[in-house]
Chain A
Amino acid sequence: MRTPFGSAVLDAACRLFVPFVLIFAVYVVAHGHDSPGGGFQGGTILAAAVILIRLVHGQDAMWGLTRVGALRLACGGVAVFAGIGFLSLLFAGNYLDYGVLPLPLETVKVRVVGTLGIEVGVAMAVTGVLVLIFDALTAWGEED
């Protein structure tokens, strides 16, 4: 955002707030198969934290996530999802049938690891797309 509406109060509030939001997003992604939540919700909360920082600090706090970086994150998430799916296809299973992955664990735990990988891919894709939408909305009419 070119003109952030930062002030001392907003700065202090978001410094206090954002670490907990990030930790909660990681918790929602990692604990998604036992409780409400999952990749989509965790990615949305992660994107909300990034967007909050951008609203308050503007261009000074991009966190290295430019528009191209957000696009790469989104495409990388899709690649993680599809890659795990095709990997299980490679080991003579169905698409997204993580039980056949050759990990040195029990079958149940292999399934948990596969689900976690899928959730991380979805979270990356959702975070990238939402940050990209926000950047496209706020940079309208600007030259790159």
Chain B
Amino acid sequence: MASLSIFFQVLIVVCAVAVVFTHDLLAAVAIFGAFSFFSAIYFAILGALDVAFTEAAVGAVITTVFFVTAIFRTVRRTKR
């Protein structure tokens, strides 16, 4: 269980760093959804099932849809 926990911690940190350094906004939103899923699984491993449920519903579904609809209204790539 400890190695599984460390595995998901590393995945969460990698996703968070990748979101910051991605210039394509749509790809950044997709990676942010993956970040939310990994943190939901990590909360479930820690035993906080209610928090994991909320993270999976709000963070992974609703926030991703809102970000994608917001990207439709702007340009897709950030400035270098």
Chain A positions within 8 Å of B, measured between CB atoms, are: 1, 36-38, 40-41, 44-45, 47-48, 51, 55, 130, 133-134, 137-138, 140
Q: Given A44-B58, A48-B62, A130-B62, verify A138-B69 contact (CB < 8 Å).
A: yes
A133 and B57 within 8 A (CB) = no
Q: Given A47-B62, A134-B65, verify A41-B70 contact (CB < 8 Å).
A: no
* CB < 8 Å neighbour of A134 from B50, B58, B69: B69
B30-60 CB contacts (< 8 Å) to partner A: 49-50, 52-54, 57-58
Chain B positions within 8 Å of A, measured between CB atoms, are: 49-50, 52-54, 57-58, 61-62, 65-66, 69-70, 73
In the complex formed, the residue of A with least CB distance to B65 is: A51
Interface SS, B side: helix
A48 and B73 within 8 A (CB) = no
Known: A37-B53, A44-B58, A134-B65. 20 other contacts (CB 8 A): A1-B69, A36-B49, A36-B50, A36-B52, A38-B50, A41-B53, A44-B54, A44-B57, A44-B62, A45-B57, A47-B62, A48-B57, A48-B61, A51-B62, A134-B66, A137-B66, A137-B69, A137-B70, A138-B69, A140-B73
